Chain A
């Protein structure tokens, strides 16, 4: 398990094909068609971004560790694969997921502290009783079938970074890409090392090391380093020269183009990338998965830049919460 991802409950029970994911979600939708029509929600990834940003804010209040927040995000994603979101109180689910994840990551916060800080962060939660978090914890664990140990890509990143001679800057960048990957389905689709390699690839393609403007960018993003999760990747992934809102899309397109055009061209792009390409060719890593993961991330950044609006997401939630009240 913990040593071997392939024997883990994550690999066995919580990794799906895209078709399986779609089927699970269709099933939920079919069972809840009426409220789906009545309470439309923004794109799932936008909702994920909204939740992630709020988890970060709650995490700061609790001085929770980043890995615990990542674990909480996984719990939430898994939970909503089995439960219709419109029938829940997402703020309560977020608070409970953080509470449980902090315990699982061996850095617990007291339930009263979690409740108080969550109530401050989410006035819409409407919960003032500790037992509601305790109760929701039962529901969460039960729904997740007690499969609570999560394998994150961060460990693979830390192991692979020295292998490819990643600079601190590149490693931080890859780390941020992994943070952003929790807003996609990638963690439900692929093993953690695939996501880590994809993040390294993006770090090397989009941000060639040693560019002064890149360093500047890093300096500005590292001012957030003390916070559990850095600010949204949309800003960090902007290429050093890009500047404008189209920056991510432009470099993302180049990454995509490069991938579809085959890896060979990258060998000329720099020694680190060359090494990565050679390594990928020799290893048994699922290349199709890496190509797909890259595309998922690229399209996440496009969507993030163009459509993310915190208020829209929040209003969609408060609307169904008000509408579903018995």
Chain B
């Protein structure tokens, strides 16, 4: 894993589009690469012409991150120039839920599947899903899609820009003398995350890839769930969900029913991921940091013994009494082998012990010292432990739902009347470093980079501490 963005400190934060001058041009070039690409379709007729051109509307500030899909760039609305016609001037784009103008954008540029010469090979299922779902969905806790432009064999998804993501924030805390994330920030983040998730689940969408890198945070402390590339509708699917994508959710956040080969999983898998994220925000490291068993052949999906063991080390292995349908899981027979490889699962101390240790080592301000600002300095209330237990419940049928979680005592308090703010930074004295936006030539790579193969990208080895919309680990 590469250095998180916090390590680069203020230099990265200080990069301004205007100051970047010459280097900025190279970032732009990479973005616009292959200007020789013919127009969308060489048919004589008008209907095939692209309706909007990306460069007529946006100025690229720099490069944010890359993944299997392509790359993410930071952009701003094109400033009117003297040469541009008045009709081409970009109107101010306003956010539909806040009504405020959107000042910066994250443009996700998809590339065709194949390497080498650019040609139309069909858009990936993942891009299609993300395009269709983002077009349809709208919620304050979901990243807002401004528009999609299809041009020159590339797909540009233009999103609102978010200055931070949870991974970046977690890293920031783990580096600076390992200070804990303030309890108020933890509570607001989790609440916002759950309200976005409730919206998704009510609309029959399972996210299937929740992890800190996919959860954006704006500079005003609003949580924005991003990367719907794996998300899909689950209302009366034509096929079992399993048959579509054999592997979903990044390994550390993958729910036990998925590890055990469940064919018909439910939105509960997202709640397990929320539990993992919640725990990670407390301890500043992934709670179940297993190693992924790679697929050896295309057909067989391996049993993730190591990951199951990591969960077992803390929670103990699941039992039939906890999870009545456990024996029906396709991989249930493999559970025995987990203990053989990892005897620690037999000595699991339980989630409560884990939680108490974390809270004790986090050095929260004591009640007296934090009298001035108890909510931002002191430890989380014990109800946080109860919520965590309910999120990290083995049996998906018993696991708390997004709707129930939002009504949990941790959020509504003993009175049931407490409210949670929509600014997770409220009351904080310090600011988090801005997202790293690179404008340097060597990080942009050459114009011919396919941007599709993980190994083919120099910047792909970096942990996506630099984040971005859908930054992949």
Q: Given the known A-B contacts A82-B47, A146-B132, A148-B132, are A106 and B122 also in contact in the complex, defined by CB atoms under 8 Å?
A: no
* Cβ A139 vs Cβ B48 within 8 A: yes
Q: From residue A57, how far is it (CB to closest CB) to chain B in Å?
A: 20
The reply to whether B44 and A83 contact each other, CB–CB distance below 8 Å, is: no
Closest chain-B Cβ to A153's Cβ sits at a distance in Å of 14
> Do residues A9 and B123 form an inter-chain contact, with CB atoms below 8 A?
no
Choose among B122, B137, B148, B153 the residue with the greatest number of A CB atoms under 10 Å from its CB: B122
Closest to A115 in B: B122
Q: A130 near B121 (CB under 8 angstroms)?
A: yes
Q: Does B128 contact A (CB under 8 A)?
A: yes
- Chain A residues with Cβ below 8 Å from B233 are 2, 106, 149
Interface-located stretch among A97-105, A174-182, A204-212: A97-105
Instruction: Count residues of B near A (Cβ-Cβ below 8 Å).
Output: 39
- B100 at interface, CB cutoff 8 A: no
- Assess A106 versus B136: contact at CB under 8 Å? Given A4-B203, A139-B47, A141-B150: no
Q: Once the chains are docked, how many angstroms separate the CA of A10 from the CA of B51?
A: 20
- Cβ of A165 within 8 Å of any chain B Cβ, yes or no, is no
Contact A9 B120 (CB under 8 A): no
B121 is contacted by which of A82, A104, A134, A148 (Cβ under 8 Å)? A134
Which of B44, B50, B120, B205 has the most A CB atoms < 10 Å from its CB?
A: B120
Q: How far apart are the CA atoms of A145 and B47 in the complex, in Å?
A: 13
A279 within 8 A of B: no
Q: Which of B22-30, B56-64, B234-242, B306-314 lies at the interface with chain A?
A: B234-242
Return the contact of B236 from the options A83, A88, A146, A155 (Cβ within 8 A). Answer: A155
Q: How far is the CA of A132 from the CA of B153 in the complex (A)?
A: 12
For chain A, which range describes its interface: under 10, 10 to 19, 20 to 34, or 35 or more residues?
35 or more
Taking A131-B121, A133-B122 as contacts, is the C-beta distance between A106 and B132 under 8 angstroms?
no
The chain B residue sitting closest to A86, CB to CB, is B45
**Is there an interface contact between A148 and B40, defined as CB atoms closer than 8 Å?**
no
Tell me if A116 counts as interface (CB < 8 A to partner B).
no
Against B, the Cβ 8 Å flags (1 = close, 0 = not) of A294-326 are 000000000000000000000000000000001
Give Cα A91–Cα B133 distance, bound, in whole angstroms.
28
Contact digits for B83-121, partner A, Cβ 8 Å, 1 yes 0 no? 000000000000000000000000000001000000111
Given contacts A134-B120, A142-B150, A148-B131, contact A3 B47 (CB under 8 A): no
Which chain A residue has the least Cβ–Cβ distance from B130?
Answer: A146
Interface membership of A256, Cβ < 8 A: no
Q: In the complex the two chains form, is A142's CB within 8 Å of B51's CB?
A: yes
Is B21 among interface residues, defined by CB-CB distance under 8 A?
no
Take A106-B239, A142-B50 as given contacts and tell me if A148 and B137 are in contact as well, using a CB distance cutoff of 8 Å: no
Chain B residues near A25 (CB, 8 Å)?
none
Chain B: minimal CB distance from A314 (Å): 22
Question: Nearest Cβ distance between residue B260 and chain A, in whole angstroms?
Answer: 23
B132, A104: Cβ atoms closer than 8 Å: yes
Q: Decide if A224 is an interface residue (CB 8 Å cutoff).
A: no
Q: Which of A104, A138, A149 contacts B120, CB < 8 Å? A: A138
Interface residues of B in 34-49 (CB under 8 A from A): 40-41, 43-48
CB distance from A23 to the nearest CB of B (A): 18
Asked whether A3 lies within 8 Å of B51 as measured between CB atoms, the reply is: no
Report A28 CB to chain B, min CB distance, Å.
10
Contacts A139-B47, A148-B128, A149-B136 hold; do A107 and B40 have CB atoms under 8 A apart? no
Q: Which residues of chain A are near B120, meaning CB under 8 Å?
A: 130-135, 137-138
Residues of A within 8 A of B44 (CB): 326
- Show 13 A/B contacts (Cβ-Cβ < 8 Å), sorted by A: A68-B238, A106-B237, A108-B125, A132-B120, A135-B120, A138-B150, A142-B50, A142-B51, A146-B132, A146-B148, A147-B132, A147-B136, A149-B135
Report the minimal beta-carbon distance from B5 to chain A, rounded to whole angstroms: 31
**Residues of the B chain whose Cβ atoms lie less than 8 Å from the Cβ of A148:** 128, 131-132, 135
Contact B238 A65 (CB under 8 A): yes
Q: Are B238 and A107 in contact (CB under 8 A)?
A: yes
A227 at the interface (CB under 8 A from B): no
Interface residues of A in 76-91 (CB under 8 A from B): 82-84, 87-88
In the complex, the answer to whether B119 meets A134 with C-beta atoms within 8 Å is yes
Answer whether residue A8 sits at the interface, using C-beta atoms and an 8 A cutoff.
Answer: yes
Excluding A2-B205, A68-B238, A106-B244, 10 further A-B contacts by CB distance (< 8 Å) are A105-B238, A106-B125, A106-B232, A133-B122, A134-B120, A138-B123, A145-B148, A147-B136, A148-B135, A149-B132
Measured between beta carbons, the chain A residues less than 8 angstroms from B153 are 138
- B122-A99 in contact (CB<8A): yes
Chain A neighbourhood of B148, CB < 8 A:
141, 145-146
**B 122-147 to A, binary, CB cutoff 8 A, 1 in contact else 0:** 11010010011101110000000000
Whether a CB of chain B sits under 8 angstroms from the CB of A67 is yes
A236 contacts chain B at the CB level, 8 A cutoff: no
B422 CB–A CB distance under 8 Å: no
Which 5 pairs across A and B sit closest by C-beta, in order of nearness?
Answer: A134-B120, A111-B122, A83-B47, A1-B136, A87-B45
Partner of A103, one of B112, B121, B125, B203: B125
Say yes or no: A3 contacts B203, CB within 8 Å.
Answer: yes
A1 to B136, CA, bound (A): 6
Name B159-180 residues within 8 Å CB distance of A. Answer: none
Q: How far is the CA of A35 from the CA of B409 in the complex (A)?
A: 69
Whether B238 pairs with A106 at a CB distance below 8 angstroms is yes
Complex alpha-carbon distance, A8 and B43, angstroms? 33
**Nearest opposing residue in chain B for A130, CB measure:** B121
Residues of B within 8 A of A145 (CB): 135, 148
Which residues of the partner chain A approach B133 to less than 8 Å between Cβ atoms? Answer: 149
Taking a contact as CB atoms under 8 Å apart, the answer to whether A147 and B122 are in contact is no
Is residue B204 within 8 Å, beta carbon to beta carbon, of the partner chain? yes
Is A143 at the interface (CB under 8 A from chain B)?
Answer: yes
| Minimal beta-carbon separation of A42 from chain B (angstroms) | 22
Closest-CB distance, B246 to chain A (whole angstroms): 14
B10 proximal to A (CB < 8 A): no
Name the contact of B202 in the complex, choosing from A3, A99, A105 (C-beta under 8 A): A3
Against B, the Cβ 8 Å flags (1 = close, 0 = not) of A245-281 are: 0000000000000000000000000000000000000
Cα–Cα distance between A12 and B112 once the two chains are bound (Å) = 31
> B204 — which chain A residues lie within 8 A by C-beta?
2-3
Whether A111 lies near B121 (C-beta < 8 A) is yes
Candidates B47, B237, B238; contact of A88 at CB < 8 Å: B47
| Max count, chain B CB within 10 A of own CB: residue among A4, A83, A138 | A138
CB distance from B372 to the nearest CB of A (A): 44
A138 to B204, CA, bound (A): 27
Provided the pairs A88-B47, A138-B40, A139-B41 are in contact, do residues A2 and B122 lie with their beta carbons within 8 angstroms?
no
Report chain B residues within 8 Å CB of A142. Answer: 40, 50-51, 150
A118-144 Cβ-contact flags toward B at 8 Å (1 or 0): 000000000000111111111101110
